Structure 1
Amino acid sequence: MKRYEGLEGILLIDDDLPTNFIHKKIIERVSVDAAVKSITNVQEALDFITYSGIYEDTPEIPRPGLIFLDINMPGLNGWDFMDTYNRLDKHFKARLIIIMLSTSPDPEDKEMALVDNEVVAFLSKPLRPEMVTSLLDRYFKEVG
């Protein structure tokens, strides 16, 4: 298993359970030593990051260093997540790498995503092992 500095957890935010399952398996295939958590809605994801709601007393659960965020979800979507995330206190965002994912062929989605300074990449679903490896190598330092 590969360990990366600042990467104790990876968060998948996607309303589609099969997609989360597949992406979790792909991350496991890369053999990264990080807890992978799947959340299917924006509010719960924000609660997880900020230790609020049902995650209020859960400091033992590793928080993410890397987030894969779907754009199109019912209710609050990826854009709503980013709007709220950008207003969070900086200690909740200390070392988070956010990757937006979409099946949308709309080039405006990519442009909008990359205008946000907190989003480092916009990728098409599904994730592939080489995509995950490339992101880990680019944004994290391998240790031990």
Structure 2
Amino acid sequence: MAAKKYHSVMLIDDNEIDNLINQKMIEAADIAEHIYTHTGAKSAIEFLKNVSKLPDISKEVLPDVIFLDIDMPLMDGFQFLDEFEKLSEQTRNKCRVVMLTSSINPQDVNKSKKYSYVKEYINKPLSQDSLEKLEV
């Protein structure tokens, strides 16, 4: 079964090695033309805010899928989601969020389900199998 194809995806993880591994998995699966990586949720939110102010290019630049880590300094994944909910409707509708985390805490899984934009919860690292099963 072939994985779904996306125009662009975004990785948000404070661990650069995890970002690199996940980026390589996405490239190997050939599911996205563009991959944006952010090592902080704050910079990712700023990027999304700035892009959404440019309606001419936002459809092209906004990621289809955001792979979001939970446990990060300064702004964690849930704080990112709280900020994400304040973004434009166009941005919120275009970007689907997949929690990509090493957390196996059931409370994190349940908390992520409270956000309508979170479509899946996957444990790190990404695998060919998890990418093929992705349904967002």
Q: Is the structural similarity TM-score above 0.5?
A: yes
Partner Cα distance (1:42, 1:10) in 2: 15
User: For the Cα contact (< 8 Å) 2:98–2:118, is it kept in 1?
Assistant: yes
> Which residue does the alignment assign to 1:110?
109
Unaligned runs of 5+ in 1: 140-144
When residues 130 and 3 of structure 1 are mapped into structure 2, their CA distance, relative to the original with a 3 A threshold, is closer
SS of the residue aligned with 1:34? strand
SS at match of 1:24: helix
Q: Specify the alignment match of 2:30 in structure 1.
A: 31
The amino acid across from 1:126 in the alignment is P
Sort the Cα spacing of 1:108 and 1:30 in 2 relative to 1 into closer, same or farther, 3 A. Answer: same
Deviations 1:1-58 (A, max 9, x none): x873xx3210000000000000000001111242011101111101111226xx98xx
Who is 1:79 aligned against?
78
Q: Do 2:7 and 2:32's aligned partners in 1 also have CA atoms closer than 8 Å?
A: yes
Distance in 1 separating the partners of 2:15 and 2:35: 16
Pairwise CA RMSD of aligned residues? 2.1
Q: Distance in 1 between matches of 2:111 and 2:69?
A: 14
Q: Which residue of 2 aligns with 1:123?
A: 122
SS at structure 2 position matched to 1:10: strand
The whole-number CA distance in structure 2 between the counterparts of 1:123 and 1:89 is: 26
Partner of 2:47: 48
Q: TM-score, normalised by structure 1?
A: 0.82
Answer yes or no: is the 8 Å Cα contact 1:8–1:64 preserved in 2.
yes
3-state DSSP of counterpart to 2:93: coil
Secondary structure of the residue that 1:15 maps to in structure 2?
A: coil
Closer/same/farther in 2, CA of residues 3 and 103 from structure 1, 3 Å limit = closer
| Structure 2 portions without partners, runs of 5+ | none
* Residues 65, 96 of structure 2: 8 Å contact kept: yes
Q: Percent identity?
A: 26
Measured in 1, the distance between the counterparts of 2:90 and 2:32 equals 23
Structure ranking higher in helix proportion: 2
Query: TM-score by structure 2 length?
Result: 0.86
Retained in 1: the 8 A contact 2:22–2:126? yes
Partner of 1:18: 17
Once residues 86 and 93 of structure 1 are traced to their aligned partners in structure 2, the CA distance between those partners, rounded to angstroms, is: 7
Which aligned segments of 4 or more residues in structure 1 are displaced greater than 3 angstroms?
none
Q: Is the 8 A contact 1:3 1:34 kept in 2?
A: no
Mapped partners of 2:22, 2:4: distance in 1: 19
